[in-house]
């Protein structure tokens, strides 16, 4: 990114709560990352606390998201702590950043989406909020369940969620768009990264295609000035050292699943 792109991205992030950096990662890097998770799935073995396939007809039983893969996979860790992400994040947060979480979503054909929600409802970063870096690993659009954001909601604090529609969302929490605001789809290509404020309302619809995955790698980050964070999110510096922070109250795993499908 050049200086003009950075300045424009920072302005959009402050005004709308999100910005997209196109082509931040190369196709070869995305392919390498996806190959790691394809191998994990092909092995068919659970990694307790991280990846736990289940028997069932739901596509998400066979392809559950992978939680905190950077804790056991070197390529995931390298991606989470990538210097290009760090550069953008520090421009957005105007301070040193810490990594708090990584996730990988397969989102196979037929998979439910995740109802509109706010990330900081789960992380409970204090003071302030977290920032997500959402790396597209496929061509992502409305058909295969691309992300939708509600611009401006990052300035509104945390909402009390309602219960989502279990037929459309694997996660229980749903935040209706505030009056006068509506979700905006964010179409992406492999290697694009969507950065968004942890209070921004966002989510996705089901993958309605018959043959297209919607894979993505997500990192959550906080500023070095963060005083507290939920216990599910052990923070590390961008050089990989553990940085212990006091626990905040009310946190939970990112996206509480409906109990019928079991917890991750």
Q: Which domain holds residue 86?
A: 3-261
Instruction: Indicate if the pLDDT at residue 261 is higher than 50.
Output: no
pTM, rounded to two decimals: 0.95
- Residue 14: which CATH number? 2.60.120.620
pLDDT of residue 38: 98
- Under 8 Å between Cβ of 202 and 117: yes
The span from the CA of 41 to the CA of 196, in Å, is 28
Give tens-digit pLDDT for 63-100: 999 999 999 999 999 999 999 999 999 999 999 999 99
| HSE (side-chain half, CA atoms, 13 Å) at 27 | 3
Domain count, the chain: 1
């Amino acid at each position: 990114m050049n200086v003009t792109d950075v300045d424009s991205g920072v302005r959009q992030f402050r005004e709308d709560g999100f910005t997209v950096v196109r082509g931040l990662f190369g196709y070869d890097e995305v392919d390498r990352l996806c190959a790691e998770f394809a191998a994990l799935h092909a092995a068919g073995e659970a990694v307790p606390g991280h990846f736990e396939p289940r028997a069932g007809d739901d596509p998400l039983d066979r392809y559950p998201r992978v939680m905190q893969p950077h804790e056991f996979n070197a390529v995931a860790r390298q991606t989470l702590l990538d210097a290009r992400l760090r550069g953008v994040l520090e421009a957005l947060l105007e301070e040193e950043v810490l990594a708090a979480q990584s996730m990988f979503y397969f989102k196979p054909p037929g998979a439910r989406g995740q109802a509109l929600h706010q990330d900081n409802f789960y992380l409970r970063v204090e003071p302030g909020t977290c920032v997500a870096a959402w790396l597209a690993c496929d061509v992502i659009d409305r058909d295969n369940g691309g992300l939708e954001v509600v611009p401006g909601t990052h300035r509104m604090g945390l909402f009390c969620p309602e219960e989502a529609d279990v037929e459309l969302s694997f996660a229980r929490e749903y935040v209706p768009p505030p009056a006068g605001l509506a979700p905006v789809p964010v179409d992406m290509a492999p290697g694009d990264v969507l950065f968004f404020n942890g209070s921004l309302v966002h989510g996705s619809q089901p993958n309605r295609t018959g043959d297209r995955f919607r894979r993505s790698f997500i990192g959550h980050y906080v500023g070095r000035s963060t005083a507290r964070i939920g216990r599910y999110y052990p923070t590390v510096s961008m050089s990989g050292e553990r940085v212990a922070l006091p626990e905040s109250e009310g946190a939970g795993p990112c996206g509480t699943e409906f109990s019928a499908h079991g917890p991750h």
